[in-house]
Amino acid sequence: MTLEVIDAHHHLCLLSAASYPWLEGQPQKRYHGDDLPLRRDYLLDDYLADAAGLAEIDARLVGSVHIENGAADPLWEAEWVDRVIAHGPFPTVQVVKVDLTAPDAHDQLAKHRDRASVRGVRDILNWHPDPYYSHRDRDDLLQDPDWLRGFRALGDLGLSFDLQVFPHQLADAARLAADHGSTPIVLDHAGMPIERDDNGLAEWAKGMRLLAAEPNTTVKISALGTNDHTWTTDSIRQIVLTTIDFFGPQRCMFGSNFPVDGLYSTYTDVFRAFDHITADLSQNERKRLFAGTAREFYRLGTAHPQADPAPTSIPSGGDYRG
C-alpha cells in the first residue's frame, strides 16, 4: 500500500525579491552548518523535485505545512506563501512568524488570521549560553509578561503555536502548556536534542516526558540532521522511538525541514529512515505518524478560497509587497 505523507515542516524562499536576514551578510559558524547553499530561491518546483523521491519508498506527498522562513517582513512572507497555496496543491497550509513581545502582536495576529491558509504561529525561542546555538538574546521569554500577553492572544484567535526550544527549556515549555491548556502547541524538531551523549539524551528525555504529560501538546519529529550532520537511521532511532513512546503516534508527525536538512541528506533519505524505524508499528499508527496527526493538528481539511488559474511559475515577491 502506498504510504501517504503530509510533510509537517518545510520552507520556501524568495531571496531574489525579499530580505531573509539569516541568509544575508557575512556567513557565521552556526549549528545548522554552512548555509551558503541555502542562499538562493527555493520555490515550489524545487521542493516538489526533492519530494519526488518519495516514490522510491512507495510513498506520495498528499499535503504539506509551510513554516515561516525568517523573512524580514513576516506579513509579506505570509501573503506570498498564501498566494502560492491558493494555486495549490502544495503547500496546503502555513505557519507564520509573529514576535509575540511586539506591542502590536495582537494586531499582527489578527491580520494573519484573516488569511484562510494560516493555521498557527512560530516565534523561535531557542536560547543557549553558547551564541553558536542561540536564536534569541534572552532566556526568560517564556516568563516574560509581554510575550505571554501575545501568546494568550493565540487562543482567542484560534491559532496554534509552533514551539521551538532546546532541551533545557522544555520544563518551562511544559509549564506554558499547562497554563494555557486550550492553545494547541506543537514542539518542533523533537525538542532539538543538540547533545547526543548519554547525559544530553537523559536531559532531553526528562524534558520531553514533562511536555508530553500536557494533553494540548503534539510533536514534530524533524530536523534531526540539523544537530547531527552525519546522521544515520541507527543514530536517530532512539530519538524517534522515544518521542513516539512519550507522545504516542496520535500526537506525533514527521517533517522534512527542507531545504535546511537538504544540507545533510536527500528528502528520500529522511523519509526512508522514518519508514524503516517505524516498520514494526501497526498500519494505523504509521498512518497517524506520516499524515493523520498533521492533517488533524493543522486542520488540512478546510477548503481554500477560489483562486485564479494557476500561473506557470511562482510570481516574484515584488508582486506582493503592496
Domain boundaries along the sequence of the chain: 3-303+310-317
d(CA 289, CA 125): 25
Closest CA to 264 of 237, 286, 235: 235
Q: What is the pLDDT of residue 87?
A: 92
Neighbours of 232 (CB within 10 A): 11
Assigned architecture for domain 3-303+310-317 = Alpha-Beta Barrel (3.20)
**Is the distance from CB of 278 to CB of 59 less than 8 angstroms?**
no
pLDDT of residue 28: 81
CA distances (Å), 151 to each of 55, 103, 108, 175, 217, in order?
A: 40, 12, 12, 13, 15
pLDDT at 308: 36
- Least Cα distance to 124 among 172, 161, 157 occurs for 161
Q: What are the start-end ranges of the E strands in the chain?
A: 3-10, 59-67, 93-97, 118-122, 160-163, 185-187, 217-221, 252-254
Collect all residues with Cβ–Cβ distance below 8 Å to 208 and sequence separation of at least 6.
167, 170, 190, 191, 219, 242, 243, 246, 247
Q: Which long-range contacts (CB under 8 A, 24 or more apart) does 280-283 make?
A: 281/244, 281/249, 283/1
Per-residue pLDDT at 317: 32
Give the chain's residues under pLDDT 50.
Answer: 303-322
Which residue is listed with cell 552525519?
Answer: 230
**Which pLDDT score, from 0 to 100, does residue 206 have?**
98
The reported pLDDT for the residue numbered 302 is: 54
- CA 126 from chain centre, in angstroms, equals 14
Which residues are within 8 A (CB) of 199 and not within 5 positions of it... i.e. 6 or more apart? none
| Rounded Cα gap, residues 159 and 111, in angstroms | 12
pLDDT value for 286 = 98
